[in-house]
A and B are shown apart, each in its own frame.
Chain A
Amino acid sequence: MSGLEPLPAAVREPTSLRNNVRWLRLLLPVAVFAAGIVAWESIVRIGEIPPYLLPGPFLVFRTLTADWAILWDSLAVTLLTALEGFVAAAIGGIALALLFNQSKWLEYSLLPYAVILQVTPVIAIAPLMLIYLPQQTAVVVCAWIVAFFPVLANTTLGLNSVDRNLAGLFQLYGASRTQTLRYLKLPAALPFILGGLRIAGGLSLIGAVAAEIAAGAAGAGSGLAYRILESSYRLNIPRMFAALLLLSAAGVVIYMLLALVSHLVLRRWHESALRKEN
């Protein structure tokens, strides 16, 4: 690229401007958040809305700290469920993709059912699962159902995206199937697998919550979704909001953790993890 003319000024960003943009990206959401809180609290106060209809943000926050012991235990239950579902989805999705990659017959036979499992809303499957399986197992299975398909689809895509010349090179040097898988296909698929896992992380939480909601009324569960249901029956709306807040926070943390893992694994070679410098 040495022969190219220098970029026009508009394309080159001065460093100060880039720093400003970075600050803005942090500041703007915080400002929106603050404005939202203020607006919310004002509406509640000015309209004199009772807490059982809409609690103000400060009441929600007070409830969060006051009920922390109960909410924390519930969060731990839900997170453990989501984690079990996620691990099962990761192992199942990757293993199934590997099997499909080794045998087209298997792929043709099973893929339609994986798709069916994916497109059927989990909230509709959950009650059935609860009939046939012990409650905790049913909830984990639901988390697994929602989370495993992105892992399967992405891993399959990755395994099929191997550079054709590199595949030729492996063939030329007489690589065995295992060697091709280990040294070529899996590393080439890694960015795709990590992308799939990032989606699966959030989905496993959604799956766990959906199943908890389905189980909630009948079951003896104590997950966060169960707390939300229970609070709604008791008209404890501030606690509902507090539990919801915790769920969102948990989802964001899961996403950020997986994004961090992805970045650490890929940082030395993959485009997605490289800093943008021309």
Chain B
Amino acid sequence: MADPAMSVHNGDAAVSLRGVTKVYENGTAALGPLDLDICKGEFVSLLGSSGCGKSTALRVIAGLITPTSGVVDVSTRSGHTIGFVFQEPTLMPWSSVRENVRLPLKLAHVANAESDRRVSEALAQVGLAEFADAFPRELSGGMKMRVSLARALVTDPDILLMDEPFAALDEITRFKLNNDLLTLWRKLGKTVIFVTHSVFEAVYLSQRVVVMTSRPGRISAECRIEAPEPRDDEFRTSVAYAARCRDVSLALMQASDAKAGT
């Protein structure tokens, strides 16, 4: 059973939000107040219906949006940025896969020899080493997403923010990318904050699922997902997984009911 206990953590926080709100210029209260702590190396999903402010939360953490009030504390090693994967692949159509992945390094003025090595490494990590010279339009949706992931990984970030990255992909590709993402997470030990509206995806991937209400986005429940590691397709078909999904679905329904009641 999921116990929506408030977050109790051991280890240092990688991301810490205190009373964060965001009100857009048109008066829409999109977020908060939001209090959230995420540990180093943790895999956390933000789950909620479309337009509930979970993407806004992610953009606040990334520093792409300044919060209206509250404190955002993100701790990374110096010189290591945050990696961000958008809902769309967001690749430059005029550049090859290699140049797309190289972009963060180029912007940071990393020398070519060094960036060549790191780009090849990142592409190998997502299994696209052979496609370095292809152009984005020549790739399938899943492959474009892998390029996007490689670009996020190329700076060796401590924190990886992912904004519904696999929502537009077909199920088979999504399952495959889910597994690959888990493998990478276990290997690289990065903190991952994953925004999704899919209960099944959230439960499969995360150690902790944060359920959000909409407008303004607040945390309504947290579910720890205890499951034997490493998770794989066997876990996806297990009874324990189904039970977890039911719990989280319930929490999500309560979140929207609570909203409808007010």
The complex places the Cα of A228 from the Cα of B252 at a distance, in Å, of: 79
B164 to chain A, nearest CB (A): 12
Most buried by A among B92, B108, B170: B92
Q: Which residues of A contact B135 (CB under 8 A)?
A: 268-269
Most buried by A among B81, B104, B170: B104
Q: Which residues of B contact A269 (CB under 8 A)?
A: 93-94, 135-137
B59, closest chain A residue (CB): A168
- A169, A179, A187, A270: which contacts B84 (Cβ < 8 A)? A169
Most buried by A among B59, B62, B94: B94
Q: Cβ of B103 and Cβ of A173 under 8 Å apart?
A: yes
B106, closest chain A residue (CB): A183
Q: Cβ of A175 and Cβ of B93 under 8 Å apart?
A: no
Q: Cβ of A165 and Cβ of B90 under 8 Å apart?
A: yes
Interface residues in B29-87 (C-beta closer than 8 Å to A): 59, 62-64, 81-82, 84, 86
A83 to chain B, nearest CB (A): 28
Interchain Cβ contacts within 8 Å, total number: 55
Q: Cβ of B103 and Cβ of A183 under 8 Å apart?
A: yes
Interface residues in A4-60 (C-beta closer than 8 Å to B): none
Tell me whether A190 is interfacial, beta carbon within 8 Å: yes
Most buried by A among B82, B103, B108, B137: B103
Tell me whether A252 is interfacial, beta carbon within 8 Å: no
Tell me whether B107 is interfacial, beta carbon within 8 Å: yes
B59 to chain A, nearest CB (A): 8
Q: Which residues of A contact B116 (CB under 8 A)?
A: none
Tell me whether A112 is interfacial, beta carbon within 8 Å: no
Q: Which residues of B contact A268 (CB under 8 A)?
A: 94, 135
Q: Cβ of A173 and Cβ of B107 under 8 Å apart?
A: yes
- A166, A171, A172: which contacts B92 (Cβ < 8 A)? A166
A166, closest chain B residue (CB): B90
Q: Cβ of B81 and Cβ of A165 under 8 Å apart?
A: no
Interface residues in B182-219 (C-beta closer than 8 Å to A): none
Q: Cβ of B64 and Cβ of A168 under 8 Å apart?
A: yes
A163 and B81 contact, Cβ closer than 8 Å, known pairs A170-B107, A173-B104: no
Q: Cβ of A172 and Cβ of B82 under 8 Å apart?
A: yes
A146 to chain B, nearest CB (A): 30
The complex places the Cα of A171 from the Cα of B107 at a distance, in Å, of: 10
Tell me whether A244 is interfacial, beta carbon within 8 Å: no
Tell me whether A134 is interfacial, beta carbon within 8 Å: no
Q: Which residues of B contact A168 (CB under 8 A)?
A: 59, 64, 84, 86
Tell me whether A184 is interfacial, beta carbon within 8 Å: yes
Q: Give me the 9 closest cross-chain CB pairs, A-B, nearest first.
A: A165-B90, A173-B107, A187-B94, A269-B93, A165-B86, A173-B104, A175-B107, A269-B94, A168-B64
Q: List 30 A-B contacts (CB under 8 A).
A: A3-B170, A163-B90, A168-B64, A168-B86, A169-B90, A169-B103, A170-B107, A171-B64, A172-B62, A172-B63, A172-B64, A172-B82, A172-B84, A173-B103, A173-B107, A174-B81, A174-B107, A175-B107, A183-B92, A183-B103, A183-B106, A184-B92, A187-B94, A190-B94, A268-B94, A268-B135, A269-B93, A269-B135, A269-B136, A269-B137
With A173-B103, A269-B94 already in contact, 6 other A-B pairs whose C-beta atoms are closer than 8 Å: A3-B170, A169-B86, A179-B107, A183-B103, A269-B93, A270-B94
